[in-house]
Each structure stands twice: as C-alpha cells, then as structure tokens.
C-alpha cells in the first residue's frame, strides 16, 4: 500500500511538473496571437508601415514561444498511457475524442495558418495574410477548448454511461461533454487569462524598451494594445472565474471549502481575503483553522449563492452530509460514510455482474447492471478507506487560490494604472518605478496563472474523475522507482530547456532593442 501511494504521489508530481511546464507556453500563445491579430488589423486599416514592423516584432516573439513550446503537451499523453493506464481505459473514448479533435485542429489549422502568417508576407495578399493571422489565433483557441473540455469532464463527468462489459465509460451525449457548464466556464476563464498574460507580457517587454530608451514610439504603441487586451482579458477572467467558483460550490463543494479553508460552514459565510492557516494537527484538535485572517463578512455566501445569508458548507459539514437551505432549515446531503457504502455496493454489483457473465446468466447480469447503475454515482468512494481521504490538501489549495486572487487584483490595478499613465501623461516614459513594475509583472502573471491551475487540480484531489475514480485507483502497476527516475530526468530537461528558451527570447529582444524597429 505504501508503494502504491508512493507511485501515486510521484506520478501526480510528474504530471504536475509536466503540465506546469507546458502551461508556461500555452497562455502566451493564446494572448499574443490575439495581440498580433489586432496589430495587423490596425496596419491593414491605416497602411502605416510602423504598425507592420510592430506586428512583425511581436509575431517573432509569438513564433519563438510557439516553437519552444513544441512537444511539451504530448508528454502528458505519454504519462496517461504509462502511469495512468487504469484511468485511460476507464474513461474510454470520452477523453480520447476531444484530444483527437484537438490534435487534428492543432495540426491542420495551426500548422497551415502559422506557415502563412510567418512565410506569407510577400506571397499572399494583405487581407489573406490578416485572415491567416486571425485563423491562427482561432486555431490555438479551439485547440485549447478541446483540451479544456477533456479537463472539465474529469471535474464534472457528464454525457456518458458506464459499460461493465467493457469496464469503461461510453460517451452517450457528445454535446453534454463538449458544452457542459464546467467546460464553458473553464474555457473562457482560461482563454481570457491567456489574453491577460499576453497583454502583460507586451507591457513588460515594452517597459524594458522604455527603461533602455529604445524604440520608445513602438513601445508606447504596443503598450496601448497590450493594456487593452490585458484589461479586457483580466476583467473577463474575473467574471468567468466567479462563474467557475459558483459552479464549483455546487459540483465540487469540498474543493470550494478547501479553497477558503472553511471547516465549519455557517449562514452568511465570510470570504477570507487573506489568511494564515493553523497547522492541520491543531485544526484536527478543534483549534481555530486560522492563526490570522482578514475576512469580508457574508461575501462567500453571496459569491456562491447570490444571497448574503445563505449557508456555505465547510469540510466537516460536507463529510457529515449537513447543509441548510435559505430558510435556515437543515437539509441533508449524502454523508461521505454513506457514499463509501454506496461505492462499495457498486463494486459488489460489478463483481456480481462478472460472475453472472462467466455463468452466461443474462438475467443476473441485467440485475447486477441495474444495481451498479443505481450506485454508480459514488463508484469512486468505494476505493476510499475513510471519509477523511476525500479531503484535498487544504493548505496548498487555500494558498494557491489566494495567491491567484491577490496577484490577479494587483495586476488588474497595475494595468489600470499603466493605462492612465500611458494615455494621460508621459509618466511611463519617465518613471523607472513604473517601468520596473511592468517588467516585474511578467513573472508575477505567470505565477498567478500557474496558481489557478494548482487550485483547480490540487483542490479536486483525491479524484482523477470527480466521485468516480480516485487517483490511487487510476494508477498503473508500476514501481515508484520508475516514476522517480523519469520525474528527475524531466526536472533536469525542463530546467535546461527553460533556461535556453528564456535565453533565446531575451537575446532576440536585446538585439531588436539595438535597431530602430519602426524604420526596418
């Protein structure tokens, strides 16, 4: 059992490492593709060659990021096949279908239009080139959509039925999978966060140009586009983030409770804006979950249920199946002990189905299948040894969520401030403080973006598929040593690649800063 848990932990660590490395490139591709599209559109409308050169500069940054991001996502698929084979089988075509569509889109749309975008400047008309640029942006966005559909299904499994004969889930409603509310919210939240990241990256690089007093006109011109994309992106990220959180409160209440460090719910629950958690041992002994906190009264209730006095269940309430409606009358949901019993009944039904299958007893098979269907909703709980096993790592979920919120608010304020200085004054050209703030915003926005994913993925543990399969059941029969070896190889390779990639990018920007980009 210890080795099993060790394999699970190492496999999760490896997947997290790979996904976080992959996520360094994806949001910048999403954001910069739109920014480049806007700049080229301005060029086509104005005919001003300065906008053409500005577009080409940012297109080169986009190209570098796109090229160095190659092959980072496919490793995740290797890991599914090797480390998570039970999961890969169990999800059947539900996971495979969106990934296959993504693969086709990525190959045909992105490969075709990116080639025209980079190689077609003097070979196709201006309008055809602009169309290729926007279609590249559309292609990258659609690719992200299908990946997020797959991820959303793991958090909110819909549109399928479990087939005990194949021991896998079968998709019975493609549209329910593709357009589940979780997928839609996750998609927009992620896409717009990519816009915000792209815009802030543009602001930051321009800040460096301003600091070096190089290409000032180009930097100010680009900053203005970057600010608008970052502003709209951040605003919509917040809006869809709120939508996602509301959905999480209904479909993954345990995750929401962990995000807020909420152990015991109440009517009119406060939103903890900032806090320091007590140690887990002290919390188990009944001490206050927080050493220190700044809370906004009733806000979590409002954010979750649009009602300042509504009840938001905490971790202990969810485990015991206790909740209250808006009239303060107690309503019971299914306690985790009960869910474990139901899950074990589902497993029992599966074994009865197998026995009936071997005996060719179709009536018994149908009976077992019905029993399985009735209890399948909590199938995954049958693998848990105790209700407490269904609680995610609260400190990681809490701190990553709050880091995302705090940094997101800081960046939003910085975007507005930069916008004011760029449009109303010449402070951006003169103030080294502002220039450094936007330069330093580059690593900050990446930390913010990665924190969002840490919240989403750590907060749903132990589930690889919400309520249906915990990570420990999804793992392959491999040894922890095997996974540790590849984890460290990846850690070394990713670090080396990242240093080289950032080096290529910085080198390119430095070289360009010595030129007059507007007059190229």
Binding interface with other proteins (CB under 8 A): 60, 63-64, 67-68, 70-72, 74-75, 78-79, 81-83, 85-86, 88-90, 115, 118-120, 123, 166-168, 344, 347, 350-351, 354, 382-383, 472-473, 476-478, 482, 485-486, 489-490, 493, 497, 500-501, 504, 507-508
- Min dist CB 163 to other proteins, Å, is 10
The three-state secondary structure class of 312 is strand
- Min dist CB 41 to other proteins, Å, is 23
Single out the residue of 245, 352, 353, 258 nearest to residue 304, CA to CA. 245
Minimum CB distance to other proteins smaller for 363 or for 477:
477
Single out the residue of 292, 296, 259, 261 nearest to residue 275, CA to CA. 292
- Min dist CB 213 to other proteins, Å, is 25
- Min dist CB 137 to other proteins, Å, is 19
Beta strand 266-267 pairing with 322-324? unpaired
DSSP run (H or E) holding 44: helix 26-46
What span, in angstroms and rounded, lies between the C-alpha atoms of 414 and 437? 8
What span, in angstroms and rounded, lies between the C-alpha atoms of 66 and 465? 31
- Min dist CB 511 to other proteins, Å, is 10
What span, in angstroms and rounded, lies between the C-alpha atoms of 22 and 74? 9
Minimum CB distance to other proteins smaller for 87 or for 446:
87
The neighbour count for residue 257, using CB atoms within 10 Å, is 31
- Min dist CB 82 to other proteins, Å, is 5
Minimum CB distance to other proteins smaller for 118 or for 174:
118
Minimum CB distance to other proteins smaller for 73 or for 408:
73
Minimum CB distance to other proteins smaller for 29 or for 88:
88
What span, in angstroms and rounded, lies between the C-alpha atoms of 193 and 178? 20
What span, in angstroms and rounded, lies between the C-alpha atoms of 270 and 300? 5
Minimum CB distance to other proteins smaller for 178 or for 480:
480
Per DSSP, the residues of 327-388 read TS-EEE---HHHHHHHHHHHHHHHHHHHHHHHTT-HHHHHHHHHHHHHHGGGGGGGG-SSGG
Minimum CB distance to other proteins smaller for 86 or for 320:
86
The three-state secondary structure class of 274 is strand
- Min dist CB 401 to other proteins, Å, is 30
- Min dist CB 182 to other proteins, Å, is 25
- Min dist CB 155 to other proteins, Å, is 21
The three-state secondary structure class of 392 is coil
**Helices in 459-479 by DSSP H: which ranges?**
471-474
- Min dist CB 429 to other proteins, Å, is 29
Q: What are the helix and strand counts (H, E) for the chain?
A: 22, 10
Single out the residue of 218, 66, 53 nearest to residue 121, CA to CA. 53
Q: Residues 6 or more apart from 58 whose CB is under 8 A from it?
A: 32, 35, 36, 39, 202, 222
Minimum CB distance to other proteins smaller for 83 or for 301:
83
- Min dist CB 194 to other proteins, Å, is 22
The three-state secondary structure class of 276 is strand
Minimum CB distance to other proteins smaller for 176 or for 478:
478
- Min dist CB 397 to other proteins, Å, is 25
Minimum CB distance to other proteins smaller for 100 or for 276:
100
Minimum CB distance to other proteins smaller for 284 or for 351:
351
Residue 131: Cβ-neighbour burial (10 angstroms; 0-12, 13-18, 19+): middle
Minimum CB distance to other proteins smaller for 80 or for 302:
80
Beta strand 469-470 pairing with 463-465? antiparallel
What span, in angstroms and rounded, lies between the C-alpha atoms of 461 and 473? 12
- Min dist CB 22 to other proteins, Å, is 11
DSSP run (H or E) holding 289: none
Minimum CB distance to other proteins smaller for 266 or for 389:
389
Q: Residues 6 or more apart from 94 whose CB is under 8 A from it?
A: 153, 157, 159, 160, 169, 170, 171, 177
């Amino acid at each position: 059992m210890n080795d099993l848990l060790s394999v699970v932990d190492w496999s999760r660590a490896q997947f997290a490492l790979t996904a976080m490395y992959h996520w360094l490139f994806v949001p910048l591709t999403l954001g910069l593709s739109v920014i480049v599209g806007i700049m080229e559109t301005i060029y086509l409308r104005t005919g001003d060659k300065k906008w053409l050169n500005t577009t080409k500069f940012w297109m080169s940054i986009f190209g570098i990021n796109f090229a160095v991001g190659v092959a980072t996502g496919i490793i995740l698929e290797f890991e599914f096949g090797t480390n998570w084979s039970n999961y890969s089988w169990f999800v059947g075509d539900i996971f495979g279908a969106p990934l296959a569509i993504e693969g086709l889109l990525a190959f045909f749309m992105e490969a075709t239009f990116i080639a025209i975008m980079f190689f077609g400047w003097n070979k196709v008309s201006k309008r055809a080139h602009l169309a290729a640029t926007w279609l590249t942006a559309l292609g990258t966005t659609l690719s992200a959509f299908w990946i997020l559909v797959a991820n959303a299904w793991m958090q909110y499994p819909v549109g399928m039925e479990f087939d005990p004969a194949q021991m896998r889930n079968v998709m019975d409603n493609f549209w329910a999978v593709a357009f589940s509310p979780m997928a839609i919210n996750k998609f927009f939240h992620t896409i717009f966060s990519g816009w915000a990241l792209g815009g802030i990256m543009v602001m930051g690089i321009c800040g460096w140009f301003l600091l070096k007093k190089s290409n000032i006109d180009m930097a100010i011109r680009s900053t203005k586009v970057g600010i608008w994309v970052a502003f709209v992106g951040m605003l919509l990220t917040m809006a869809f983030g709120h939508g996602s959180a509301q959905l999480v409160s209904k479909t993954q209440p345990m995750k929401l409770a962990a995000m807020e460090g909420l152990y015991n719910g109440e009517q009119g629950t406060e939103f903890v804006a900032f806090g320091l958690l007590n140690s887990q041992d002290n919390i188990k002994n009944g001490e206050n979950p927080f050493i220190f906190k700044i809370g906004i009264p009733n806000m979590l209730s409002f954010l979750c249920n649009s009602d300042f006095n509504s009840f938001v269940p905490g971790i202990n309430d969810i485990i015991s199946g206790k909740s209250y409606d808006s009239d303060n009358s107690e309503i019971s949901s299914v306690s985790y002990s009960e869910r474990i019993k139901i899950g074990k009944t589902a497993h029992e039904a599966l074994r009865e189905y197998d026995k009936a299958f071997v005996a060719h007893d179709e009536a018994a098979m149908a009976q077992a299948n019905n029993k399985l269907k009735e209890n399948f909703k909590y199938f995954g709980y049958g693998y848990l040894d105790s209700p407490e096993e269904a609680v995610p790592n609260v400190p990681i979920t809490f701190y990553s969520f709050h880091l995302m919120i705090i940094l997101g608010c800081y960046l939003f304020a910085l975007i507005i401030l930069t916008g004011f200085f760029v449009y109303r004054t010449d402070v951006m050209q003169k103030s080294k403080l502002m220039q450094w703030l936007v330069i330093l915003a580059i690593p900050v926005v990446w930390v913010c973006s990665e924190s969002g994913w840490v919240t989403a993925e750590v907060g749903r543990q132990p589930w690889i598929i919400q309520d249906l399969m915990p990570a420990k059941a999804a793992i392959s029969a491999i040894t922890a040593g095997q996974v540790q070896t590849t984890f460290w190889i990846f850690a070394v390779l990713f670090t080396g690649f990242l240093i080289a990639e950032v080096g290529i990018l910085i080198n390119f920007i430095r070289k360009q800063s010595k030129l007059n980009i507007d007059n190229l």
